[in-house]
Chain A
């Protein structure tokens, strides 16, 4: 057993399952621990993502209104073509058994349905159309100089916190 695999097994047995329950999106599936400088590559990935969000005007409140008023194809085209590229990429990763740059197998989890996807989805949709921003564009709007969006972001953090507080009482 190499050191890397040993480390991997060790951390897997000590895994935190709460973060995976109900909420398996957007998390780290890697069992490897790295020194912090390895995270720099995600900073660059974020910079690239942020530039695309601004240049494609995804962060524009006006474009979001056009989308929800069915007055423009722009955002539908972006989401649709992003999903097609994503599907082809994921299919290729599975088919060709592509590994991470550290040689770990790439893991996919099945998501379970719960009512939160309906209730939470609608609540988020309402908020998206008010602020003109989903969470990614919130950060990009702040970077693009709309400083008042810091308040929107703080309020979003508060919303997440309140969800955590009352989560057990909500239908799932």
Chain B
């Protein structure tokens, strides 16, 4: 197996986790930047539609680095799917597949379930709830919480901030409730 073939396999957690963790000192040393992604959404609001709202009246140009960072994430997604895509289907938990088949999810070959997230399903009730509803909760919730998985769970916990621990626990509570109790009803729509 050559190197490229080797890298194309899904990366195990003990490789990916430390690589994500190393982003913390990398950004700090590169110029006192704190790892975080959800703030980019605020900077986009401040840059494009401030609408005289005090929350969006600040010097967003000083935070341009964050917009470069998220543009990089987008480019990284493109590069890895173009040059490093794993040809194998995902190895998923059998119970999950069994449950999802029940809700009509048939395609397990890509990272996202195209039966649920696609331009064809977008204009159905289910598609709108998943795409538009879910996105709204992500944008509203992260800003209300003051950070997302990277800002709170990784950066916040790395600096031993207990408010970030509370936020992280609440992320998990929200996720557990949605996946186990609410999502089954949404998938039936």
A contact residues vs B (CB 8 Å cutoff): 16, 18-19, 22-30, 32-34, 36, 38-69, 71-87, 89-90, 92-93, 98-102, 104, 106-108, 110-114, 116-136, 138-149, 151-165, 167, 170
Contact = CB atoms under 8 A, between A and B. Distances in A.
A109 B162 CA distance: 13
Contacts of A156: 41, 135-136, 138-139, 142
A127 B76 contact: no
Interface of B: 7, 10-42, 44-45, 49, 51, 53-59, 62-66, 68-81, 84, 90, 92-93, 95-96, 100, 108, 110-113, 116-119, 122, 129-164, 166-180, 182-183, 186
Contacts of B18: 81-82, 85
A135 B117 contact: no
Label chain B's interface by main secondary structure: helix
Interface-central residue, A38, A49, A84, A112, by most chain B CB under 10 Å: A49
A58 B153 CA distance: 14
A59 B32 contact: no
B118 to A, nearest CB: 6
Interface-central residue, A27, A33, A89, A102, by most chain B CB under 10 Å: A27
A51 B80 CA distance: 5
Nearest to B155: A25
Interface-central residue, A34, A46, A68, A77, by most chain B CB under 10 Å: A46
